[in-house]
Amino acid sequence: MVDPNAKTILLICTAGITSGLLVKNMQTAADEQRLNLHIYSAPAIIAEQIIQNQKVDVLMIGPQSEYEIARLKDFLNYKAVPYKLIKKDDYETLDGEAVLKDGLTLLN
């Protein structure tokens, strides 16, 4: 069960396979730092629906889904959800700590 007080970081990408592995690495890094975070991933195609219906504090976008920024930008600004494109190197190496660090910067 997810702590309702936890901050939420959503990763979106095209297919979800790599981002699922990255989420696991990010959650491990967050747990090691004793951060109260809920990190999960979803396909980019349903991002707007998720943001509309669930609490999302930060959106991280997989590099192959960069085109989604144009589609979601106005909606994200309206909902006041900070977002960032995940660095390609961090994504390809599944560097959960680096992506978590970028996400935490957006939270603060």
Q: Pick the catalytic residue: 11, 13, 39, 47?
A: 13
Q: What's the pTM?
A: 0.93
Per-residue pLDDT, 74: 92
The answer to whether 13 is a known catalytic residue is yes
The sign of the CA dihedral 100, 102, 105, 106 is: negative
Mean pLDDT of the chain: 93
The domain that contains 33 carries what CATH number?
3.40.50.2300
Whether 87 is covered by a domain: the verdict is: yes
Whether 58 is covered by a domain: the verdict is: yes
Whether 1 is covered by a domain: the verdict is: no
Domain count of the fold of the chain:
1
| 65 vs 15, more confident | 65
Q: Which residues form the domain of 98?
A: 7-107
Distance of CA 55 to the CA centre of its chain: 12
Taking only the tens place, the pLDDT of each residue in 49-79 is 999 999 999 999 999 999 999 999 999 999 9
CA 44/CA 63 separation, integer angstroms: 11
Whether 45 is covered by a domain: the verdict is: yes
Instruction: Indicate if the pLDDT at residue 104 is higher than 90.
Output: yes
CA-based nearest residue to 42, from 89, 92, 80, 8: 8
Whether 56 is covered by a domain: the verdict is: yes
